[in-house]
Structure 1
C-alpha cells in the first residue's frame, strides 16, 4: 500500500502556520539584512515549482538534480520535487570545483535525466544539456497564484531525497533516504529534542530545515557563506544571534570553536539560547567546556551520527569524561540496534579492557537496504554504563599497545597550544602531527604522561593539518605529510 509522502508533514505546516514566519534567510553581503518567509509565502513559491515541473512531465519516482543556488528557492524547489513524488538529488559539497565531466558521471550513476536550474542557465545551456541527454528546467520567474498541490502518495521505500556524504574517507557517496527513513529520522529528533511552539532554531546546515518545517519551528539560517565555512565571520554570527534571539543551535566543531573564540575575546550575554548540539566529527571535551562557559544558560549536547543515520547517539555534556578513553558520545538511541564488528581490544590505564569494533547500526531511521547493517566506518567500544566511546576511524584503525588513534588525539586536544592533532598509525605505533603553538617537548611530555612508552614515534608540528571540505573538522589522514 502506498504511504503518504514525507512532504505531507510540511504541507500541513504550511497551511496551519500560513501567517507565521517559518524561514529567515540571511542577506549575505548585506550585513544585518534578511528575508522572512511565512507559510503562505513558501506555499506560493512551492506551488509555482510544482506547476512548472508537472507541466514539464516530471513523474513520480523520477530523479531531478537541484542545481539552484543555496537559498529559499532551493528549498522550495526541493519540496516541490518531493511533493510530486519525484526524487530531489543534491550534488556533493564543492561540486563547482568538481568539473563538468565528473558531474555528468554523478548524474549517470544516479539515473538523473533532468535538472532544476536558474532560468538564465536553462536558456543558455539547454541545447548543450539536451545533447548530453539532460533536460534543464529553469526556475519560474513569477510566484503567481497557482494552487498548492497535495502531496503525491508514494511507496514507503521510494527515495525521498538523495544527498552525498562528506567524502572524508574517500569519494563522496550518494545517500538515499526513503520516505520511511526521513519520517523515522523526523520522529526520533522530535523525541530526543521535543519542539515547542514558536521555537527559533539556528541550523548551520540547511538539511535540518526539513525537520523544522515538519514541526513548525522557525529556521533562522546563520549568516555564513554556504559551502565556504572557512569564510565564517564569527562577529556577524554572534550579532545575528543577539538580533534574532534564537533559542537552539546546531553546528560542527570548526563553527563552534570559531564562535567561542570570538565570545571569549568579546563576552556577549546570550541568555535566550536554551540548547545547542555539536557534531559532524569527534567533539573534544575542551570545546564542550568552552561552550558551557560561552553559552552559560544553554544545555550542551554531543550528537553522533552519519549521513545515513541521524542521530545514532546523543550525550548531554554536563560532565567531562576522561579523554584518554576516546570520545564519549553517550547511549545509542532507542529503536536502533547496534553491534561492533570485532577488531581487537583497548586497554585503559586502570587496567580495564574493552572489545573494540566497527560501529554497525540497523533500524527504522537508518538509510540502508532492508535488513542490512550500516557500517559507519567508526570504531569504538561500550563501557560498563553502556555508553558508546569512539576510538578510531576506518583507514587508520590499527590498535597499538591497546590504543587507537582517537584516544591519542583527544588527549592532545586538551593540551594548551594544540589547535588540532592527528595520530597516524604505522607498523610500529603512531606518528603524531599537530597544529598550534605548543612545543614538541610539551607534546611529547603529554604523550608520555598518558600512554605506554614506545607507542608514539615521530612528533611533527605542522602549520595546517588537512581536513575535509564540508566540516573543516575531519582529518584527512591519507594527506598527512
Structure 2
C-alpha cells in the first residue's frame, strides 16, 4: 500500500479539477486544484533531473505561496524529505538546526541563498542548490519559470508508513528547537482527524495564518487563501488586510494563534464589524482566554464555532474543546486558578497523567496513572504522535516511553484530567516553580497562578518565574505586563497585584512582583511566553534584594 501523502493532492485534483484550490491574497494569483497538481508534477520532474531522488533531504526556504505548496508536494512525490524551519527563530538557532539535519539539497528564494553564502559551514552538506525567483543569474535559473511547462504526470514514490516525509522544527520555547521526524503515516493520520473531526473538505475556504496548514487544506480539497501577513510575526498582522481577504474570498474557516485573533477581534470590535463568512475558527499555540473567545464570538455570525485544539509539533491535534463550553462552563474555573481546560481527547487518542519527573521514564505501569483532579505530567498515545527527533537520541529517551507494542509521548506539560475526561493544562513542566523551606516542598504551576493576576483589569498577561536567591534557594516572582495604554505608576499596579496574591491561598508563597513592559514571546505563535528570558531579567531586577 502506498502511504505517500502526495496522493491527497492528486485525488483532490481528480475530484475537483478546475475549482479554485489556492489564492495568493497579495498577488491575486489563483490556481485550480488541477493546476496545483500539474505544477507540483512539473516541479517533481525538474527536481529529479537536478539529482533529487528518494531519500534526498531538501531544505526548503520559500515564502508562503502557491510555489511553496507545489514544491512541498513535489518533494513528497519524489520521496525526498522536506526540511522546514521557521526563519524567525534567530540566525544562531537557524544555523544550528540546519547543521544538525545535514541537508543534501537546498531550494530557496534569492535572500535565502545570500544567507547560505554568508554562513557556509552549516550548508556544507548541500550538493544541489536551486533558486526560486530572479537572482540575476547569481544562484542559477529561476525554477518557477521552468515549472510553467507541463511535463506530464509524475509517478509518485511508493512510500511505506515509516518513510520520512518531513522534518519540522519545534519553536524552542523551553530549550533549543528540535527537529521532529514526520513520516507519511503521521500526515495521513493528521489529515484524517482534521477532516473527520473539524469537517474540513471540499466547499470550504481556509485562510491559515500558519503556512503549513495550507498543505492540509489543499490536500483535503478545501481552497487555501495565503494571507497578506508575515507568518513569523502573527501579533503584528495588519487586521484590515486579513479581514478584507476573508470577506473578498468568502473564507469559511481559519487557523491561527491567540495572538493574531486578539488583534483581529479588537479591530472588528472597535469598528463594529462582523466577519459573516467565517463559520469555524481554530486557535492554538498557547492557552486561549475566555475573554478572547467571547470577543471573537461577538464578531462572528451566531452559528460560527470556535475550537481550541491542543497539541505540539510532536503530536497534533490530540485534544480539543469548543468555545461555548469554555465561556459557559470552564472559564470561571480557569479564572479561579484551576488551569485551562483544553478539552477531550480526539478519536484514537489516549491521554494519561503520570507523576512529574525531570528524568528519563524508561517504563511505567498503568496503575501509576494519577487519579482525576491530581496534577501531573501529561502523556499521549495515538497515530498522530511522532516517533522521534532527528539525530537526537537524548531527547528521544526523554520524550518517549515504550509501552508494549506502542509508545507514549511526554508532552512536557503538566495538568490533570477531570471526572468528565477533560484535560486541564497547568503549564510547562520546566516552568513549574518548586519552593523548599524547613523540609516543606511546595510546587507552583504557571497557568493556575497567573490566572489570579490576569483578572486585574490593567494586567494584559502575567508570568510566574523562579529566581535563585542569595541563600541558594529558588524564590517565586510574578511578572506582569500591563494593558496597552496603562497610565498609572508601576508601583500602584504592583501594590494591587501583590494584595491579590496574598489574598489567594494559591499564590501566597509568591514573594516578589515586577512589571515588564513587553514580554518576550515565541516566534511561531507570538503567544508562548519565554519565561526563561523573563527569569534572567527578573534576577537582574532583583539583584541585591533576594
Verify: 1:358 aligned to 2:371, yes or no. no
Q: Which position in structure 1 is the counterpart of 2:460?
A: 419
Verify: 1:40 aligned to 2:34, yes or no. yes
Q: Which position in structure 2 is the counterpart of 1:433?
A: 479
Say which is worse superposed, 181-190 or 417-426, in terms of deviation: 417-426
Q: String of CA shifts for 1:57-106, please: whole Å, max 9, x gaps.
A: 222122111122332212211110111111111123426x416xx65653
The within-5 A match list for 1:297-316 is 297=302, 298-316=304-322
Q: 1:309 to 1:128 in 2, by over 3 A?
A: closer
Q: String of CA shifts for 1:363-397, please: whole Å, max 9, x gaps.
A: 11111258332111110001121111011213212
Q: Which position in structure 2 is the counterpart of 1:348?
A: none
Say which is worse superposed, 118-127 or 328-337, in terms of deviation: 118-127
Q: How many Å apart are 1:133 and its aligned residue?
A: 3.7
| Partner SS for 1:431 | strand
Q: Which position in structure 2 is the counterpart of 1:347?
A: none
Q: How many Å apart are 1:402 and its aligned residue?
A: 6.5
Q: Which position in structure 1 is the counterpart of 2:244?
A: 239
On the 8 A contact 2:246/2:277 being kept in 1, the answer is: no
Q: 1:104 to 1:232 in 2, by over 3 A?
A: closer
| Partner SS for 1:181 | helix
Q: 1:284 to 1:12 in 2, by over 3 A?
A: same
Verify: 1:16 aligned to 2:7, yes or no. no
**Cα distance in 2, alignment partners of residues 476 and 119 from structure 1:** 32
Q: String of CA shifts for 1:12-34, please: whole Å, max 9, x gaps.
A: 1123222011111121xxxxx52
Q: String of CA shifts for 1:145-192, please: whole Å, max 9, x gaps.
A: 211313210121011111111111111110111011110111111121
Q: What's the TM-score once normalised by structure 2's chain length?
A: 0.79
Q: How many Å apart are 1:128 and its aligned residue?
A: 10
Verify: 1:327 aligned to 2:361, yes or no. no
**Structure 2: any 5+ residue segments left out of the alignment?**
133-142, 358-370, 389-404, 436-441, 468-472, 538-546
On the 8 A contact 2:233/2:525 being kept in 1, the answer is: no
Q: 1:152 to 1:320 in 2, by over 3 A?
A: same
Q: Which position in structure 1 is the counterpart of 2:410?
A: 375
Q: 1:405 to 1:138 in 2, by over 3 A?
A: closer
**Structure 1: any 5+ residue segments left out of the alignment?**
28-32, 345-351
Q: 1:138 to 1:236 in 2, by over 3 A?
A: closer
The within-5 A match list for 1:340-359 is 340-343=353-356, 354-359=373-378
| Partner SS for 1:177 | strand
Q: 1:237 to 1:379 in 2, by over 3 A?
A: same
The within-5 A match list for 1:51-70 is 51-70=45-64
Q: 1:383 to 1:105 in 2, by over 3 A?
A: closer
Q: 1:364 to 1:125 in 2, by over 3 A?
A: closer
Q: Which position in structure 1 is the counterpart of 2:401?
A: none
| Partner SS for 1:34 | coil
Q: String of CA shifts for 1:411-444, please: whole Å, max 9, x gaps.
A: 3333312112101145566311111138223323
Matched residues, number: 465
Verify: 1:391 aligned to 2:384, yes or no. no
Verify: 1:106 aligned to 2:97, yes or no. yes
Q: How many Å apart are 1:123 and its aligned residue?
A: 11
| Partner SS for 1:408 | helix
The within-5 A match list for 1:452-463 is 452=506, 454-463=508-517
Q: Which position in structure 2 is the counterpart of 1:219?
A: 224
Q: 1:174 to 1:122 in 2, by over 3 A?
A: closer
Q: How many Å apart are 1:238 and its aligned residue?
A: 1.9
On the 8 A contact 1:429/1:457 being kept in 2, the answer is: yes
Q: Which position in structure 1 is the counterpart of 2:124?
A: 132
**Cα distance in 2, alignment partners of residues 435 and 122 from structure 1:** 39
Q: Which position in structure 2 is the counterpart of 1:477?
A: 531
Say which is worse superposed, 430-439 or 84-93, in terms of deviation: 430-439
**Cα distance in 1, alignment partners of residues 504 and 3 from structure 2:** 54
**Cα distance in 1, alignment partners of residues 18 and 113 from structure 2:** 33
On the 8 A contact 1:413/1:419 being kept in 2, the answer is: yes
**Cα distance in 1, alignment partners of residues 106 and 443 from structure 2:** 51
On the 8 A contact 2:234/2:526 being kept in 1, the answer is: yes
1:338 counterpart (326, 351, 354): 351
Root-mean-square deviation (CA), in Å?
A: 2.7
Q: How many Å apart are 1:230 and its aligned residue?
A: 4.3
**Cα distance in 2, alignment partners of residues 363 and 325 from structure 1:** 27
On the 8 A contact 1:286/1:413 being kept in 2, the answer is: no
1:405 counterpart (446, 455, 461): 446
On the 8 A contact 2:39/2:150 being kept in 1, the answer is: no
Q: How many Å apart are 1:403 and its aligned residue?
A: 4.5
On the 8 A contact 1:91/1:164 being kept in 2, the answer is: yes
Q: 1:34 to 1:85 in 2, by over 3 A?
A: same
Verify: 1:71 aligned to 2:84, yes or no. no
